[in-house]
Amino acid sequence: MTTSIIVATGRNNAIGAGGDLAFHISADLRNFKTLTMGKPVIMGRKTFDSLPNGALPGRRNIVITRNPSFCAPSVETASSLNQALEMTVDAAEAMIIGGAQIYEQALPIADKLYITEIDADRPDADTFFPTIDPDGWNCEAQQWLTDEKSGIRYRFVCLSRK
């Protein structure tokens, strides 16, 4: 099984502000849906709570939580990242979708990173993606694009562990 992380980061690795995504770019959200559809998605409870409509349709939703009584429709729970990954062992690829604590735990074991690099700052950001050692990864990057709505530049980057 391939363990993958998917994330959108600003210039300073910002991923969140006030319990929401740091940036909302339509093409990034479409890319997220395309890459995660039909695959198990693993997330922390705070990330799950930030989803406006609850569980993501068309995907097996696994929420990592310390609360054994946590329950939500169309969601399975795990008490740790390792347990969540064990639950997805039969999948070709498991997608780790956040948040910061889960990313921190998953980065050392991830096989692939799907990163939307956003060429913008979010001064009020309070949640950040960990620093990546570029020497440990092979990089495929697309050219910079510009979001028509916001004017923000972004690009999709795929990193595969060396």
pLDDT in tens, 74-85: 999 999 999 999
Q: Is the pLDDT confidence value at 111 over 90?
A: yes
DSSP secondary structure string, 92-160? SEEEEEE-HHHHHHHGGG-SEEEEEEES---TT--EEPPPP-GGGEEEEEPPPEE-TTT--EEEEEEEE
Q: Is the pLDDT confidence value at 141 over 90?
A: no
Please give the structure tokens belonging to residue 69. 């009584």
Q: What percent of the chain has pLDDT over 90?
A: 98
pTM score > 0.85 for this model?
A: yes
Please give the structure tokens belonging to residue 70. 């946590």
Q: Which CATH superfamily is domain 2-161 in?
A: Dihydrofolate Reductase, subunit A (3.40.430.10)
- The pLDDT score that the predictor gives to residue 130 is 97
Instruction: Give the residue among 126, 127, 88 at the shortest CA–CA distance from 96.
Output: 88
Question: Domain segments of the chain: what residues?
Answer: 2-161
Using pLDDT thresholds of 50, 70 and 90, give the confidence band for residue 159.
very high
Q: Is the pLDDT confidence value at 65 over 90?
A: yes
